[in-house]
Structure 1
Amino acid sequence: MKRRVLFVCFGNTCRSPMAEAIFKKLVAERGISDQWDADSAGTSNFALGCQPDNRALGCLARHGLSSNHRGRQITKSDFMEFDYIFCMDTRNLSLLEQFSKDFVNAKAHPLLLGSLDPHEELIISDPFNGGSREYERAYEQCLRCIQAFLSTHS
């Protein structure tokens, strides 16, 4: 049975789809795609059905990655269906903790992805109001955290 990981940011346009793409690439490179499934979502309905931000797609392309993800908002069922839910910042963590507080039987509980960062950068910086440098920083943060996660969970 596959373990499932969900990455969550505000709009599901930048950080979370980038993290999803990074995760999928790393599990494929390790030959463990049959053991893992990944998705991403937003805490808002800001970009429902939309592709990731063009700057996020450009950053992924510079690293040999792509994404065909379409924006979606997190649902109650996600807490029952996913094994891990990783948030990008404390604002989204707080929203998810409020949203999930009544789920007694939740399978997953939200955690900060940055809590896994070997560089101890707790917050995955939001690149939305920036340029390629900010997207690259968010990419590198996600990459470090996901590598750390996979080194202890695969």
Structure 2
Amino acid sequence: MIKVLFVCLGNICRSPMAQAIFEHQINGTHLTNHFEVFSAGTTDYHIGAPPDPRTLSTLKSHGILFEHQAHQVNYSDINNYNYLIAMDHQNFVHLQNMKPISAMLMKMRYFDPVDKNSDVPDPYFGQNDGFETVYRILNRSIEGLILKLKEKHLS
């Protein structure tokens, strides 16, 4: 089982959207039984809360229904997942400082064919169009991530 944990700040916008998109992309394929996917935040701001309504609305507009409760990343998480995927540099550094890390730590946009060196922007304080932008970034980045994971583990 390949375990992937997506991480952002509060676990109500970017990382749950990434989790939902990943699950959607593998749903109904032979890959479903090979992956365990979850998401978490680096802070305790929203523990137990559902995703931001704009996250859910954006996902729904793309045919994805998703339920989740915000979770703060902990030492058990970083040692139980094979891959920690950070949405931005701040999340990356936070995870990097939670030593020892047995998982491979990477930034989400490393897999983005358009821009490998940028962060996934946090849409929380913006308008609805920011969530759509994040969806597009995550959708194409996750396609790249799944391809790399298939090549590494399932070839």
One-letter amino acid matched to 1:25: H
In structure 2, the gaps of 5 or more residues are 151-155
Provide Cα deviations, 1:78-104, integer angstroms capped at 9, x if missing partner.
Answer: 12110100000001111111122xx1x
Deviating 4+ runs (over 3 angstroms): none
2:111 equivalent to 1:116: yes
Using structure 2 for the length normalisation, give the TM-score: 0.92
CA RMSD of aligned residues (A): 1.1
- Separation of aligned partners in 1, 2:45 and 2:26: 29
Contact 1:79 1:109 in 2 (8 A): no
One-letter amino acid matched to 1:151: L
Number of corresponding residues: 149
Identity over aligned pairs, percent: 32
In structure 1, the gaps of 5 or more residues are none
2:145 equivalent to 1:149: yes
Using structure 1 for the length normalisation, give the TM-score: 0.92
- Separation of aligned partners in 2, 1:129 and 1:97: 26
Query: Which residue of structure 1 aligns with residue 124 of structure 2?
Result: 128
- Separation of aligned partners in 2, 1:145 and 1:107: 23
Deviation at 1:132, TM superposition (A): 1.5
- Separation of aligned partners in 1, 2:105 and 2:149: 17
Query: Which residue of structure 1 aligns with residue 153 of structure 2?
Result: none
Query: Which residue of structure 2 aligns with residue 28 of structure 1?
Result: 27
Provide Cα deviations, 1:35-57, integer angstroms capped at 9, x if missing partner.
Answer: 00100000000100000000000
One-letter amino acid matched to 2:143: Q
Deviation at 1:6, TM superposition (A): 0.3
